[in-house]
Amino acid sequence: MSLIRQIRLLLLVVVLLAVTGSMAVHLVSARESLQTQIRVKNSDNAHALALALSQQAGDQRLMELAMAAQFDTGFYRSIRLVRTDGTVAFERHADTSPMEAPAWFITVMPIASEPGLAQVSDGWRALGRVEVVSHTSYAHDELWSAVLQDAGWMVLVAVGAVLLGGAVVHRIRRPLDAAVAQAQALVEGRYVSIEESRVPELSRLTTAMNAMVQRVRVLFESQATQVETLRRQAHADPLTGVAHRAYFMERLAALAGREDGAEGGAVVLVRLADVAGLNMSLGRETTDRALMAIARALLAYPERAPDCFVGRLNGSDFALCLPYADMASETAASIANGLRLSLPAIGPTVHVHLGAVSMPRDATIGASMSQVDLALARAESRGPFAVEVVSETAPGGAGRGERAWRTHILAAVAEGRTRLVEYPVIDRQGALSHLECPLRMQLDLGGAYDAAARWLPLAVRSRLTAQVDSHAVRLVLSAIDADGQPRGVNIATASLADAAFAGHLRLMLQETPRLARCLWLEFNESAALERFDVVQEFGRLLRPLGVRIGLEHAGERLVQIERLYELGLDYVKLDAALCAGVCGNGAVRDFVKTTAALLHALSMQVQAEGVRDGADVEALWACGVDAVTGPWASAAFKPPVQ
């Protein structure tokens, strides 16, 4: 039994004992008082009657008349005249029942009527004695009426005491509940400070808890800083802070292989001309300033566009990956214009050349990089700050307007021309954690079922993502209902902008609580950065139903999420590029291991995406990763026989 319940029970018992004891004491006192009054009355009436009988000169008839008159006008149970020889000369009896007091009350609280005695004489001659006994029925009625009245007052007092005690208990419970919630938040990996209580004993408790939370928060922030440092060491160029060549190429491959990746893309290559000559003529420090200036110019683009990233491929070459193919020419020209204004200030001979390629989704990374190298070579032949663009037309969908895209997407959803593909997520015991279920859509009747990379950008532009995501969740719930396997689905960041989406999803899941407990919902890491409060509220609405909430494609900017410990996540999927080659790269291992420890401290499960090699899987287990997905998991998973 909880402490609050014990206090409430104790308070109730004390009030009941106090009320019952007060009633009992008052009842006994009232009965004793009534018995005393009856005894005195009997004695007084007996002496008054004896005096009246003594004045009848021993006339038996007159004495009987006087006693009969006294009996008829009084409230007596019996009147008797007993002669000196013990014989009864006169006797009258009357039985009267109480009008208000119940029989059980009379049995429990009997009232004794002690007879009043007085001697009757004629001068010096004794005639006998008179005995007078009054009725007690009126006394029982009076006592019962007093009990009812007192009980009413006692109930009012008890209610007031209970209300006052409840208020005091609530005053105590509020800081206790806050302290319990704070402790529970720590268990869940959230660091919450609470208002100090005005109760001195509880004030010391909340002060100590807040101090501990603050200390753990500082420890978390220190560990987050360490994670970011290790990430830079494992994946970033030491001078400029942008991705080094290996990591850039891994991100490019991971983006191209994702179901929700871009339909097409572009790569802009920027080369600082004659780095060796600049080192000799201007010095290493000035050359480094030029390289830093190029990096800063390129880093402005990832801040404005998701899935846009920068890498340093070698000493003089930088690459910018863009998520849309039609951005290549405009972006390259914009970068050239910006650098034309800034680089000459470093040195008159400092300049760059730019090559760009727009590439469809089905283009290979090697072919695209060869094309952009060719474009860069052509730019070098044209002179400083020259731009050369190579364009490849993406197959399918060209010339289809936004209205046509919207019509095709709505028709595919309405007509059920959608399907889920399933990719297993395997835990370290080899068991299925859940199935990733990206949605594919048949936009053209009889055509192929396209990955989200083709139709998602248009769904975002047409504000259809909430409708499409609701449809995907319904498909996933149907699949769970069919075989009981837990499944996950990605929720587009744009769906969070729809205020009704989370509420609609909650109502849908409340109707199927059993299925909701097998549902995994995940957002892109950028959603937590851009819409922290919305993602947090989304989790507060759905997690109580048993739904698990997580981030996918995460790790690059994970420590940039302020108050990550308050986001309420169940798991985080590290991006494939961050985990690639973990077996043979100590820096990557340190980064993954520290990140996993950080997330485990927040009670989050850690998963790795896009794992291809069994040796990397073993290294990930050693680093503390809880589950993996990717080609290795798909090959290793053996679906149950139906």
pLDDT digits (tens, 9 = 90+) for 378-402: 899 888 999 999 875 444 444 455 6
The type of residue at 72 is D
Cα separation, 425 vs 487, whole angstroms: 10
Domain count, the chain: 3
Residue 428 is predicted with a pLDDT of: 92
Residue 618 is predicted with a pLDDT of: 95
Domain boundary, last residue among 119, 135, 160: 160
Angle at CA of residue 312, ends 252 and 356, nearest 5° = 65
The verdict on 410 and 377 lying in the same domain is: no
Closest-CA residue to 76 (of 124, 130, 19, 33):
130
Cα separation, 127 vs 121, whole angstroms: 5
The verdict on 383 and 418 lying in the same domain is: no
Contact (Cβ atoms closer than 8 angstroms) between residue 450 and residue 458: no
Domain annotation covers residue 313: yes
Mean pLDDT of the chain: 86
pLDDT in tens, 82-137: 888 888 888 888 877 667 788 888 888 888 888 989 888 887 788 889 898 888 88
Residue 393 is predicted with a pLDDT of: 46
By residue range, what is the domain housing residue 290? 242-391
Residue 122 is predicted with a pLDDT of: 80
Residue 640 is predicted with a pLDDT of: 64
- Which residues in the chain come in under a pLDDT of 50? 393-399
Residue 454 is predicted with a pLDDT of: 80
First to last CA, the chain: 47
Residue 399 is predicted with a pLDDT of: 43
- By the 10 Å C-beta count (0-12 exposed, 13-18 middle, 19+ buried), 245 is classed as middle
Closest-CA residue to 583 (of 598, 597, 593):
593
The verdict on 379 and 463 lying in the same domain is: no
Domain annotation covers residue 106: yes
Q: What is the CATH number of the domain that holds 255?
A: 3.30.70.270
The verdict on 152 and 268 lying in the same domain is: no
Domain annotation covers residue 487: yes
The verdict on 452 and 384 lying in the same domain is: no
- Tell me if residue 23 falls in helix, strand or coil: helix
Q: What are phi and psi of 194, to 5 degrees?
A: -125, 160
Domain annotation covers residue 227: no
The verdict on 417 and 367 lying in the same domain is: no
The verdict on 348 and 482 lying in the same domain is: no
Domain annotation covers residue 124: yes
Residue 400 is predicted with a pLDDT of: 52
The verdict on 251 and 131 lying in the same domain is: no
The verdict on 153 and 248 lying in the same domain is: no
Domain annotation covers residue 15: yes
Q: What is the CATH number of the domain that holds 573?
A: 3.20.20.450
Q: What is the CATH number of the domain that holds 110?
A: 3.30.450
Domain boundary, last residue among 144, 160, 176: 160
The verdict on 307 and 372 lying in the same domain is: yes
- Tell me if residue 269 falls in helix, strand or coil: strand
Domain annotation covers residue 169: no
What lies within 8 Å, CB to CB, of 227 at 6+ separation is 558, 559, 591, 594, 595, 598
Whether this prediction's pTM lies above 0.75 is answered by no
Angle at CA of residue 342, ends 341 and 347, nearest 5° = 110
Closest-CA residue to 189 (of 605, 511, 522, 506):
605
Domain annotation covers residue 235: no
Residue 392 is predicted with a pLDDT of: 56
Cα separation, 559 vs 541, whole angstroms: 25
CB atoms within 10 A of CB 347: 16
The verdict on 321 and 456 lying in the same domain is: no
Domain boundary, last residue among 93, 127, 160: 160
CB atoms within 10 A of CB 503: 11
Distance set, CA 53 to CA 6, 45, 93, 287 (Å): 69, 12, 19, 141
The verdict on 561 and 609 lying in the same domain is: yes
Contacts 24+ apart (CB under 8 A), 474-477: 474/508, 475/418, 475/419, 475/420, 475/437, 475/439, 476/420, 476/437, 476/519, 477/508, 477/509, 477/512, 477/515, 477/516, 477/519
